[in-house]
Amino acid sequence: HFGEGAYDESEKVIQELLKEAGATDVSSEINNPTYQIQAKTPEIYLGYGRIDHFASPETIKKGTLGTYTSPSTLGNNEFTYSGNWNVMEEYANPQKGAKLTLSFESKEVFLVMRTKGAPAKVKIYLDDKMQDFGEDNINGIVTVDNDQLYKLINLTTPGRHILRLEFEDNNAELFAFTFG
């Protein structure tokens, strides 16, 4: 089995292989937790190599600085750039004052980011209010100082929302959103 799911079946096969290899203390009980998928928004990649769901009216300028705008409305699971952005194959690099707006439906929002050197500051708005519902989101600001998955939003219940990121410098490189 590849990917997520089929946890009980995978556990059974692992137990059988352990027994076959001579392990004597392998439990035959399978007690995996029940998982709920609360996200209806798919992964969203921000580099031009895998970009999808992009709603800015401008064509992506590959590997060079481009200026983008946001339409007045976003469809479900769409995102826009506004301001100046360097969009590379694997990531996007917002310039100071740039914004990213995303329409999503989930409980949690994560974003893979890294810094180009000095720490980057990203302001997080949910439905036009500065929010701090994520583990890495302190008082509405995420400080990007490593190459990692940042936890931006963690709501009590899933729902449809508009996320806006505002960039205070040129130091962030953004790779992909994931949802939980």
Which bin fits 69, alpha (ψ -120 to 50), beta or left (φ > 0)? beta
Q: Structure tokens of 91?
A: 């990531």
Output 5 or 158, whichever has higher pLDDT: 158
Could you tell me the two tokens for 73?
A: 């409305």
Q: Taking the CA of residue 165 as centre, how many other CA atoms within 13 Å lie in the half-sphere pointing to its CB?
A: 30
98 near 56, Cβ under 8 Å?
A: no
Burial category of 164 from C-beta neighbours within 10 Å (exposed 0-12, middle 13-18, buried 19 and up): buried
Res. 36: pLDDT tops 90: no
CB–CB of 44/69 below 8 Å? no
Give the closest residue to 57 by CA, choosing from 74, 40, 42, 43.
Answer: 74
Q: Output the average pLDDT for the chain.
A: 92
What confidence score (pLDDT) does residue 29 get? 83
Tell me the CB-side half-sphere exposure of residue 74, using CA atoms within 13 A: 24
